[in-house]
Structure 1
Amino acid sequence: MDVDVFVAAHQAQWARLEQLLGRGRRLTGEEADELVSLYQRTSTHLSLIQSSAPDPMLVGRLTQLVARARAAITGARRASWRDAARFFTAGFPAAVYRSRRWWIPTAVLSIAVGVLLGWWIAGNPEAQSVIAAPDDLRRLTQPGGEYETYYSSHPAASFAAKVWTNNAQAAAMCLVLGAFLGLPVLWILFLNMANLGVGIGLMASAGRLDVFLGLILPHGLLELTAVFVAAGMGLRLGWTVIDPGPRTRRAALAEQGRAALGMAIGLALILFVSGLIEGFVTPSGLPTWARIAIGVAAEAAFLVYVYVLGGRAARAGDVGDVEEADQTATLPTAA
């Protein structure tokens, strides 16, 4: 393509589009129709330039012009309470539901790794000696030891905030780093399961596994589920880099990236609930069965939320993406 000839042929249309966009008054019906027609033509021109003769200055000029025209046609839209309600009742649970084929296997395999590692540590004194010295191990696992006092070592409110921040960061890292083919996500999962396995192994070797489970289950069920969901979404994002499916890789990554961003917001709220349980319920004086029952109820409520609201929204076609009107146009329409 001869760029100079192309510019000469269409310069008048671009200038007219800029003139319409620069009007300080409302357009007439005829002018509005002309604006839409010129927007469509200019979008096609931009697509042709990008694919045939990517001139950086011309691409930048037409991109800005198309963006201005699209904003003028669609109008600016502000986020509202309706958007927030739609996100929490449809978008977020639909994204979690649609990614269940990733996070459920991730959860099963991760828990299996943690349990097997704990079983190996519990029956292997050599491994325990590598983890810590005998006196340190007793300080960790004995009645009133560090495993038990950890949850009551700080005021409940500040402890819950600290836990929430740490877990939200871990979930966000899984979502963001998933674009690197998912490899960093696997490492984050392994570190989490290694910590769990060490706790299981050391407390089991001291004959106090029931105490450990009574401390970890109230908040751990919901907390680990949120981490597994984030990890599953991160792995799905990584796989999209490898296999985008029938869409272009750019379009597929854009959709998955927007869904991942929304999921980060939703999971932050879920982890906030988990942090409250860990800060106020886990160290409380409630009987063990009552604390575990609260954790099971929170986990069950989340799963019902995902499978009922999320399943319904997913079957209706919601993929957890932003509304179509807020998405960037991916296929210009020729006039």
Structure 2
Amino acid sequence: MDVEAVVAAHREEWARLDELGRKRRLTGTEAEEMLDLYQRAASHLSLVQSTSADPVLTQYLSTIIARARVKSSRDFRADPGAFARFFLETFPAICYRAWRWWAGVGVAFVVLTALVAWWTATHPGFVSSVLSPEEISQLTRHDFEDYYSSYAAQDFAFRVWTNNAWVAALCITLGALGFPIPLLLWSNIVNTGVSAGLMASDDRLSLFFGLILPHGMLELTSIFVAAGIGLRGFWSWIEPGPRSRADAFAAEMRTAFTAAMGLVAVLALCGFIEAFVTPSGLPTPVRLLIGFTAWCSFIAYVVILGRRAVAAGVTGDVDARLREDELVAG
């Protein structure tokens, strides 16, 4: 390799990177410029190290790259608008981009749950072979309703939040494999459907909906979102489009784990509703209205802010400064 030719071709880029790395503050445009120059310089350093033994050039490039890395990381952590951008752009963009996936999951969940409930209500012989009449009566007349007031509200909210966050995390994490997600959702379908069928057979279906819908509309939607995003990540491995499978899968799973942080906040709200609204003494229509308002607010949040963010080019992928170094041809 002709070291002098490489130096002549890229001297100005390196000098500019050195200049930006030494600046006290960077504008947004300068930060993007420094990131691009940093990636280019990293590829140049790799080339120099593999084809030349010039210690001076190697040390120079290593120094300006290290300075740029530190500068970029410091500026990113100090960004006061990152939190707001996450909830106003990044998170809704991820949810909006995957809406067909999680809407499909939601429709399938509701349909299958209704079928399980219908089958349970119309086949009492099967239910009685598993549970005694006393156990069924205990479940429908006491246990189902008492569940929501069996703990102190704040403790119950925390239990619900952590449990749902765990389910959502499993849906996202298992997106790499795909098939565990339907299996995970099926257990919830069976539990919900059987409970609904038993309550219907005891003429207490209105109580069932009065207790499960205030928090369940938003809670289940959050789980659907997690499952849909996880399945989208799995599909990116099967059908990567113009990208390589590795690049497509990495990008989708980065956005998936980013979405998990937003879902934690949504599920915290679900836990609050389930602990403080569902078992409260408020009239059932009021509790349903609160749950429906929370659900509609989330859907509007995703559609309005998510569509706007996607139109502006937001993908939900993590900031390039937090990704693995990329080698860019110089």
Considering the TM-score relative to the shorter chain, is it more than 0.5?
Answer: yes
- Is the Cα contact below 8 Å between 2:215 and 2:273 reproduced in 1? yes
Q: How far apart, CA to CA, are the structure 2 residues paired with 1:149 and 1:281?
A: 14
Q: 1:254 aligns with which of 237, 241, 250?
A: 250
Instruction: Give the partner amino acid of 1:316.
Output: A
Match of 1:54 in 2: none
1:230 corresponding residue in structure 2: 226
Larger deviation: 109-118 or 72-81?
72-81
Q: C-alpha distance in 2, partners of 1:106/1:100? A: 10
Please state how far the C-alpha of 1:68 moved relative to its aligned partner.
Answer: 4.2
Match of 1:171 among 168, 173, 186: 168
Q: 1:58 maps to what in 2?
A: none
Instruction: Kindly provide the amino acid, as one letter, of the partner of residue 169 in structure 2.
Output: A
CA distance in 1, matches of 2:73, 2:271: 41
Comparing 207-216 and 315-324, the one that deviates more: 315-324
TM-score (norm 2): 0.81
Provide the C-alpha distance between the structure 1 equivalents of 2:313 and 2:132, rounded to a whole number of angstroms.
Answer: 56
For residue 215 of structure 2, what is the aligned residue in structure 1?
219
Q: CA deviation at 1:37?
A: 6.9
Does the CA-based 8 Å contact 2:96-2:303 persist in structure 1? Answer: yes
How many Å apart are 1:192 and its aligned residue? Answer: 1.0
Distance 1:194-1:81 versus aligned 2 partners, 3 A rule: farther
Tell me the alpha carbon deviations over residues 124-173 of structure 1, each in whole angstroms, 9 at most, x when there is no partner: 0122124422110010112xx11111101111110010000000000000
Paired amino acid for 2:122 = G
- Structure-2 separation of matches of 1:90 and 1:133: 52
Q: What is the match of residue 108 of structure 1?
A: 107
Q: Supply the distance in 2 between the matched residues of 1:127 and 1:199 (Cα, whole angstroms).
A: 14
Q: How much is the aligned-residue C-alpha RMSD, in angstroms?
A: 3.0
The equivalent position to 2:152 in structure 1, one of 152, 155, 158, is 155
Q: Which residue of 55, 69, 72 corresponds with 1:71?
A: 69
2-structure distance, mates of 1:37, 1:147: 61
Q: 1:40 aligns with which of 27, 36, 43?
A: 43
What TM-score, normalized to structure 1? 0.80
2:82 is aligned to 83
Change (3 A) 1:202 1:27: closer
Residue 328 (structure 1) shift = 3.2
2: CA distance between counterparts of 1:35 and 1:287?
61
- Cα distance in 1, alignment partners of residues 324 and 228 from structure 2: 26
Question: For residue 322 of structure 2, what is the aligned residue in structure 1?
Answer: 326
8 Å CA contact 1:226, 1:267 repeated in 2: yes
Residue matched to 1:125: 124
Report matched runs for 1:191-202 at 5 Å: 191-202=187-198
Give unmatched runs, 5+ long, in structure 1: 1-5, 14-19, 50-63
Q: Which runs of 5+ in 2 are unaligned?
A: 7-14, 24-33, 52-61
Q: Please give the alpha-carbon distance, in whole angstroms, between the structure 1 residues aligned to 2:87 and 2:205.
A: 37
2:290 is matched with 294
2:185 paired with 1:189:
yes
1:275 aligns with 2:253: no
Of 303, 308, 314, 1:307 maps to: 303
CA deviation after TM superposition for structure 1 residue 325, in Å = 3.8
Letter in 1 for 2:175: G
Write out per-residue CA displacement over residues 217-251 of structure 1, whole angstroms, 9 at most, x where no aligned residue.
Answer: 00000000000000001111111122222112222
Give the paired residue count.
295
Cα offset for 1:185? 0.7
Please, which moves more after superposition, 283-292 or 244-253? Answer: 244-253
Q: Cα offset for 1:75?
A: 5.7
Query: 1:42 touches 1:66 (CA, 8 Å); kept in 2?
Result: no
CA contact (8 A) 2:39 2:325 kept: no
